Amino acid sequence: MRSRRRLLVLVAALFAFIFITAVLYQAGMGRLEHKPRTMFEALEWAVETISTTGYGRDNHWTNPVMVLLVVTAQLAGMLLVPLVLFLFVLPYIAERFEARLPREADRSLHDHVVVYQYGPAVEMLLQRLASQNIPTLVAETDEVRAREVLDNGSRLIFSRSDEDVLDFCRLDEARAIVANGRDEENAGITLRARQMGFRGDVFAFVEDPAHRKAIELAGATAAYTPRHIIAAALAAHASDAISPRLPGLAAVAGLERREMRVPPSSRVAGKTLAEAQVGERSGAVVVGQWISSHLSTRCSGDMHIVGGGVLEVVGDEESLARAAELIGGRYLPQSGPFLVAGFGEVGRKVHELLEDAGEEVRVVERTDAPHVDVVGDVLDSSVLERAGIAQSRAIILALDSDDSTLFATVISRDVAPDIPVIARVNHARNVANIHRAGADFALSIAEVSGDMLYSRLLGRPMHGRDEHRRVTRLSMPRWTGRSIRDLPIRSFGCSAVALEREGQFLSRITGDMRCEAGDALWICGAAESVHKITAAS
């Protein structure tokens, strides 16, 4: 070990220095001071001087050469303590600390997923796999990140070199590798894994999209760009043109979909839908409620209306106006530009996707660049006002720092309380705080990457998000004569939005209305739920 070698060198040098100093002192005392000393007395003096513990009876010298020798020995003694500290004690402590980091995988580990380098893109994946009892092993080359992995309770091996980190991962027993380093590191790890005979899947994250093909040529099964993936998710949530909220609704004449933020002071806040009687009193249908990026589509009578949440309502123009008056809020804007704050990799991709969809986009960035409309700091409220946040359809925060995103959320909510705030987040642990700061929708790279790789590793399709619904027409021969209230619509997480009768659409339907022969019911819900209702009817 390095510390042992240092110790041997230090001890040998110390004894040699003491011995040489004692010999010189004995010779000087006899010939220059004319006060002969035995070798043991000279050694005693040398040790006392170098250790700075004292001199005993020898504390005065007259010959200049002896004085110079004594001063040299004294200075050497003063330097000895820090020399021992820096050359032996501190390296020894560091090596002991370093030894706590595992250097090779447990021999019982098999069918595991090797994750090269820890970071935001894989933190949720590790949690997902752990929930399914699928073993993972993080191969880390950075000591600080390695300590974080151990603190999180994940299996780890640590090596200071990329060259040998895979040698101790039991690749012959592994099911897959996830490469999460820099692009050049991921390419190197992929090549080494293939050279070592690994035949399983290698999934690599890519910082620069131009490197995807090169990493796949190096042997990766697939290469992903997490920043582009989260940019696509943010743009899809923002724009109906990219991802329509309720496809099929346009087929029902006269119906519109709107979103409304429920003020905390609203008279319906805290009540259930049955108590608030939104549908009965307005004629509009509540088809969803957004709370902290989660869409609840089971809008039964016992669903509570949350102050600060966003209700999704379907109805004709008059019904929607009555619903707005009853709730006491204003509908979220459906026109105006999207304001993109931050023009890094994520911001540029969001801008590109929105513009390709025909949306109007305005970009705020600290430094001037092509496509930047407003130069300034998004954390300055005057910059947001100059960018026209109050007239925007939504602000999309595509900042690199979660701290900046949180602060920008607070400022945006203060400057424009009714404008939706859509935020990109790095670490999943920060999503809740950013929601508390006022964000309507916050999505982390960890969540997007984790869900994607989890589905790929397990060979399962990704679970459809609740907002992926559509409006579907159902003929109802088995339901003839039954009232709308008695139909199993809400129990399957769907909502009835209109009744088609003799070619006419009845949008203001009540629970007492009865189905007649030839009627068709238009319902809103996820494809799986609609399929269950169809089977039940």
pLDDT value, residue 189: 94
| 441 has pLDDT over 90 | yes
Q: What is the pTM of this model?
A: 0.75
Give how far the C-alpha of residue 206 lies from the chain's centroid of Cα atoms, to the nearest Å: 16
* Residue 53 in domain: yes
Task: Using pLDDT thresholds of 50, 70 and 90, give the confidence band for residue 442.
Answer: very high
Element (H or E) spanning 114, and its range?
A: strand 113-116
14 and 88 assigned to the same domain? yes
* Residue 177 in domain: yes
Tell me the per-residue pLDDT of 485-512, one tens digit each, with 9 for 90 and over.
888 887 788 888 888 888 888 888 877 8
User: In whole angstroms, what is the distance from residue 69 CA to residue 33 CA?
Assistant: 13
Alpha helices in 437-518 (DSSP H): 445-458
User: In whole angstroms, what is the distance from residue 54 CA to residue 319 CA?
Assistant: 97
447 and 515 assigned to the same domain? no
443 and 474 assigned to the same domain? no
pLDDT value, residue 219: 94
Sign of CA pseudo-dihedral 118, 119, 121, 125: positive
| Lookup: tokens for 503 | 């070619």
User: In whole angstroms, what is the distance from residue 225 CA to residue 213 CA?
Assistant: 12
* Residue 275 in domain: yes
* Residue 106 in domain: no
* Residue 108 in domain: no
pLDDT value, residue 181: 92
List the domain range (segments joined by +) for residue 335. Answer: 225-465
Alpha helices in 333-481 (DSSP H): 345-356, 381-387, 402-415, 431-436, 445-458
Place of tokens 């790929």: 456
Last residue of a domain, one of 465, 495, 511: 465
| 99 has pLDDT over 60 | no
* Residue 19 CA: distances (Å) to CA of 48, 63, 77: 13, 22, 14
Last residue of a domain, one of 49, 69, 99: 99
| 480 has pLDDT over 90 | no
- Stretch 207-219: mean pLDDT, rounded? 91
141 and 95 assigned to the same domain? no
Polymer length of the chain = 537
pLDDT value, residue 1: 52
Q: How many domains does the chain have?
A: 4
pLDDT value, residue 92: 66
High-pLDDT (> 90) share of the chain, %: 40
Per DSSP (E only), the strands in 141-241 are: 156-158, 176-179, 201-205, 222-224
Place of tokens 């010999």: 23
Q: Which residues sit opposite 304 in a β-bridge?
A: 272
* Residue 249 in domain: yes
Q: Is 375 helix (H, G, I), strand (E, B) or coil?
A: strand
Per DSSP (E only), the strands in 173-237 are: 176-179, 201-205, 222-224
